[in-house]
Structure 1
Amino acid sequence: MKETAKIFDQIVQERRSVRVYDIEAEFDHEAVQRSIERAILAPNSSNMQLWEFYRIKSEEAKKQVAWMCMNQKAAKTAKELVVIVGRRDLWKKRQRALVQEMKRVYPDPYSKQAKRAMNYYENLIPKYYWSDWFGLWGMIKKCIYFFAGLKRPMIRHGNNADLRISVHKSAALAAQNFMMSMKAEGYDTCPMEGMDSLRIKRFLKLPRKAEVVMVIGCGPGAEGGIYSDRFRVPNSEVILEV
């Protein structure tokens, strides 16, 4: 095993969901900034980066968001709270940025690579992310995928629910990067889904289509912050070979 793998294995093994933080211990808030910057390097669907990260730092803001997280100790005692938000509604802005990036990466517009990239971002991405109020386009896409899939492999997702799941999956990948980074920085984290996402959304003044994915508490773990030994079902039940 390479030395880098040993280090990563140690970080993975040591990362636990810590639910109580030491409010008296010192905390490097720049570690949060560094970890978010590492989080946004996570892989994500079509590199659309449909996410935002809100740092809840002030005592008053933390108190309010902790209340919206059902006053969990992981929220009440955290040095900072990071709210991860899915922004499917920003797809047009991200698409335009990626089109410009593809023009930079492939300066020859007639090359095979440029044509493939531009077709993907200028033609396919709008068809995938655009939606109407009644979801009719999503149903049409499902029908197209079904009939096309009778003869060849075909993606099967395309309605509003599928798009939401795709954005949340990408945000979750970034969240894991963030938590691994915080552990490498010497701090602990706890991802929370037990929250009033509507109230948090209003608190952050987010637009209607933005969605709160999760809230992550972070800080130096306190004694007793890990409630029990780690439990995982046997590897044989979840690691399968074909």
Structure 2
Amino acid sequence: MKETAKVFDQLIRERRSVRIYDPEAEFDHDAVQRSLERAVLAPNSSNMQLWEFYRIRSEEAKKSVAWMCMNQKAAKTAHELVVIVARRDLWKKRQKALVQEMKRVYPDTQSKQAKRAMNYYQNLIPKYYWSDWFDIWGLIKKGIYFFVGLKRPMVRHGNRTDIKISVHKSAALAAQNFMMSMKAEGYDTCPMEGMDSLRIKRYLKLPSKAEVVMVIGCGPAAEEGIYSDRFRVPNKEVIFEV
């Protein structure tokens, strides 16, 4: 095993969801910024980067958001909270940015690679992300995928719910990057889904189509911060070889 793998293995095994943080311990808030800058390097669907990250730092803001997280100790005692937000509604803005990036990457616009990339971002991405009020287009896409899939492998997700799930998965990948980075910085985290996402969205003044994925508390763990030993079902029940 390489030394880098040994270090990563240690981080993976030491990372725990910490429920109580030490209020007296020092905390480097710059570690949160560095970790968020690593979070955005996470893999994500079509590199659309449909995410946003909100740092909750002031005591007043932390108290408000902690209340919206059902006053969980992981929120109340955190030195800082990070709200992970899915922004499916920003797909047009991201698409335009990626089209410009493809033009930079492929200056020869007539090359096979350039045509493939431009077709993907100019034609296929709008067809995938656009949605009408009743999601009729999503039903049509599902029907097309079904019949095409009778003859060859085909992407099966295409309605509004499918796209929402895809965007949330990408945001979750970024969240994991963030938590592992915080552990590497010497701090602990706790991802929370037990929250009033509507109140948090209003508090952050987010648009109606933005969706709160999770809130992550972070800071130095208190001695009693981990409630129990880690439990995992046996690997043979979840890891398979074909």
Give the structure-1-normalised TM-score.
1.00
Q: Name the counterpart of 2:158.
A: 158
* 1:36-185 → structure 2 map (5 Å cutoff): 36-185=36-185
| Matches of 1:122 and 1:83, distance apart in 2 | 31
| Matches of 2:183 and 2:155, distance apart in 1 | 36
Does residue 32 of structure 1 match 2:32? yes
Q: Name the counterpart of 1:239.
A: 239
| Matches of 1:98 and 1:209, distance apart in 2 | 22
| Matches of 2:71 and 2:134, distance apart in 1 | 37
Q: Name the counterpart of 2:223.
A: 223
Runs of 4+ aligned structure 1 residues displaced above 4 Å come to: none
Q: Secondary structure at the match of 2:84?
A: strand
Amino acid in structure 2 at the alignment position of 1:212: V
Aligned length: 242
| Matches of 2:5 and 2:152, distance apart in 1 | 39
Does residue 16 of structure 1 match 2:37? no
| Matches of 1:143 and 1:239, distance apart in 2 | 33
Q: Secondary structure at the match of 1:189?
A: strand
Q: Name the counterpart of 1:186.
A: 186
| Matches of 2:132 and 2:61, distance apart in 1 | 36
CA apart distance, 1:110? 0.1
Amino acid in structure 2 at the alignment position of 1:23: P
| Matches of 1:30 and 1:158, distance apart in 2 | 39
CA apart distance, 1:47? 0.1
CA apart distance, 1:33? 0.1
Deviations 1:68-99 (A, max 9, x none): 00000000000000000000000000000000
Identical-pair percentage: 86
CA RMSD of aligned residues (A): 0.3
| Matches of 1:91 and 1:135, distance apart in 2 | 16
| Matches of 1:187 and 1:57, distance apart in 2 | 16
Amino acid in structure 2 at the alignment position of 1:176: Q
| Matches of 2:31 and 2:233, distance apart in 1 | 33
Q: Secondary structure at the match of 1:95?
A: helix
Q: Secondary structure at the match of 2:17?
A: coil
CA apart distance, 1:232? 0.2
Deviations 1:118-176 (A, max 9, x none): 00000000000000000100000000000000000000000000010000000000000
| Matches of 1:232 and 1:35, distance apart in 2 | 27
Q: Name the counterpart of 2:4.
A: 4
Structure 2: which 5+ runs fail to align?
none
Q: Secondary structure at the match of 1:42?
A: coil
| Matches of 2:199 and 2:208, distance apart in 1 | 12
Amino acid in structure 1 at the alignment position of 2:13: Q
CA apart distance, 1:19? 0.3
Structure 1: which 5+ runs fail to align?
none
| Matches of 2:19 and 2:32, distance apart in 1 | 18
| Matches of 1:224 and 1:27, distance apart in 2 | 18
Amino acid in structure 1 at the alignment position of 2:133: W
| Matches of 1:191 and 1:74, distance apart in 2 | 9
| Matches of 1:100 and 1:163, distance apart in 2 | 23
Give the structure-2-normalised TM-score.
1.00
Q: Secondary structure at the match of 1:218?
A: strand
